[in-house]
Structure 1
Amino acid sequence: MANILAFGDSNTWGLIPGTKERYPWGIRWTSLVQEELSDDRIIENGLCGRTTVFEDQLRPFRKGSDILPLLIESNYPLDAAIIMLGTNDCKKIFNANSHTIGKGLELCLDELEKYISPDKILVVSPIKLGSEVYIPEKDPEFDKGSIETSKNLKREYEKIAKRRGNQFLAASDFADPSSVDDEHMDEEGHKNLSVAILSKLQEMKSA
């Protein structure tokens, strides 16, 4: 049995758009992937607000690069990993462009690659933010610039994965944010992403 870490933010945790609730097992993408992997184990580790390297003074313990060493050690051994981060890095408080966010991703990959072969790490660029994500009724921690930055993460992450020898998949090719909050996937998005990730994992396993 292979142990596969799924490391991400609220779209890995399974936040229901417009709420603080979580999609149940059988709806969120991590569980759908697990149900198809009878011989392998998905270790779910999504956290709302998680970033690659940025400290959020309003929400502590969200810095991905800091927590990864502990997660890797506590779940040892790990055979593969899926990492999908970057949406929260687009918040206006961090003032980071896609290149800077990519550097943060690489620090996370550095930690994973201490224990996992680069070709067994699936880098997933996140879904794009919707056009009204920043309005008061949705998430004003973002602004118009955040939307553009989120669109650029696919190209940046793909470039990084190719250079480092990681696998790559763009969540934005398979899922869009719900119109409810312009930030999180709906049930269909989780289903579509799960199919794409499952296919990629099977490809990685047979390689």
Structure 2
Amino acid sequence: MKNVLCFGDSNTFGTNPARPGTRHPFDVRWTGRLTGLLGPDWRVIEEGMGGRTTVFVNPLEPKRDGIGALPIALQSHRPLDYAIVSLGTNDLKEIFNASPRTIAAGAAMVCDAVLNYNYGGCGPAPKVLLVSPIWVKPGISESPYVGFAEDAVDRSHRLSPYYREVAEERGLLFLDASTVAEASDRDKLHMEADSHARLAQAIADVLLADAAAE
């Protein structure tokens, strides 16, 4: 059985834009759909958390930095064949004032932490699939989820090339989520069911193709 860790933020958790603070059902969110698409020889492990960043510490949302939580997830769920890193949207928050290049550098640190972790007898390190985030939409500053200014929209559009560069430099798998999924018009931030379905299919295609090539 192949084990896949899905390490991400609220769009990995499956926050439902129709009802702020709630979660899509398992068979709607992309992690649940991925379980069905990959089949019984794969185990999909959900590790999504609302507000999670790559490396930034937010005093308004404590204990949400991905680099801090990652070792716990890796230790708990090893051995792993794949780790999907899907972070960066929350790094767009006004409090961090981070450029797309800086956000990608944070994502790189998370990926490096996955690759360099000491898995002991449960090694080797998993392959990493780095996912560049979906775009946030205009009106994000009025979203129920506070912290975003309108300039987050433009910066979200400019993340993908930097994420791709991180992946290419490290030989990682890569997917630009904005090519297959989008934020809801309701809250400008989280995905509706149809985007979860498209993202799950795209991720499944990447993983299955890589596994077949081994």
The TM-score normalised by the length of structure 1 is 0.95
Specify the alignment match of 2:180 in structure 1. Answer: 174
SS of structure 1 residue aligned to 2:83: strand
Partner of 1:126: 133
Query: Structure 2 regions of 5+ residues with no counterpart?
Result: 118-122
Query: Who is 1:46 aligned against?
Result: 48
Task: Decide which moves more: 24-33 or 110-119.
Answer: 110-119
Q: Which residue of 1 aligns with 2:93?
A: 91
Look up the match of 2:149: 143
Paired with 2:202 and 2:28, the residues of 1 have a C-alpha distance of 15
Aligned match of 2:59: 57
**CA contact under 8 A between 1:120 and 1:204: conserved in structure 2?**
no
1:121-166: CA deviation from partner (whole Å, max 9, x where unpaired):
111001000011112x544411122111111111110111011100
Aligned CA distance change for structure 1 residues 119 and 77 (closer, same or farther; 3 Å)? closer
Matched-pair contact (CA < 8 Å) for 1:6–1:12: yes
Give the deviation of 1:118 after TM superposition.
7.9
Whether contact under 8 Å (2:7, 2:83) holds in the other structure is yes
How far apart are the structure 1 equivalents of 2:194 and 2:84? 20
Q: How many residues align?
A: 206
Partner SS state of residue 6, structure 2: strand
* Aligned AA (1:175): A
Between 1:38-47 and 1:141-150, the stretch displaced more is: 141-150
Aligned to 1:20: 21
CA contact (8 A) 1:81 1:121 kept: yes
Which of 72, 75, 91 aligns to 1:73? It is 75
Q: Indicate the percent of aligned positions where both proteins have the same amino acid.
A: 40
What TM-score do you get using the length of structure 2 for normalisation? 0.92
Task: Extract unaligned runs of 5+ from structure 1.
Answer: none
4+ aligned runs moved over 4 Å, structure 1: 115-119
- Looking at structure 2, the residues matched to 99 and 59 of structure 1 have their Cα atoms a distance apart, in angstroms, of 23
1:15-35 alpha-carbon deviations (Å, 9 max, x no partner): 001511000111000000001
- Cα pair 2:54 2:106 within 8 Å, conserved: yes
Deviations 1:53-107 (A, max 9, x none): 0001111110001111111011111111111100000000000001111111111
Q: RMSD between aligned alpha carbons?
A: 1.5
2:164 partner letter:
E
Distance in structure 2 (CA, Å) of the matches to 1:120 and 1:152? 25
The more displaced of 46-55 and 147-156 is 147-156
Contact 2:85–2:129 (CA under 8 A) maintained in structure 1: yes
1:134 alignment partner, SS class: helix
Per the TM alignment, residue 203 of structure 1 is displaced from its structure 2 partner at its CA by 1.0
Q: How many Å separate the matches in 2 of 1:152 and 1:179?
A: 20
Native 8 Å contact 1:130 1:147 kept in 2: yes
Work out the CA distance in 2 between the residues paired with 1:128 and 1:198.
Answer: 21
Give the secondary structure class of the aligned counterpart of 2:196.
Answer: helix
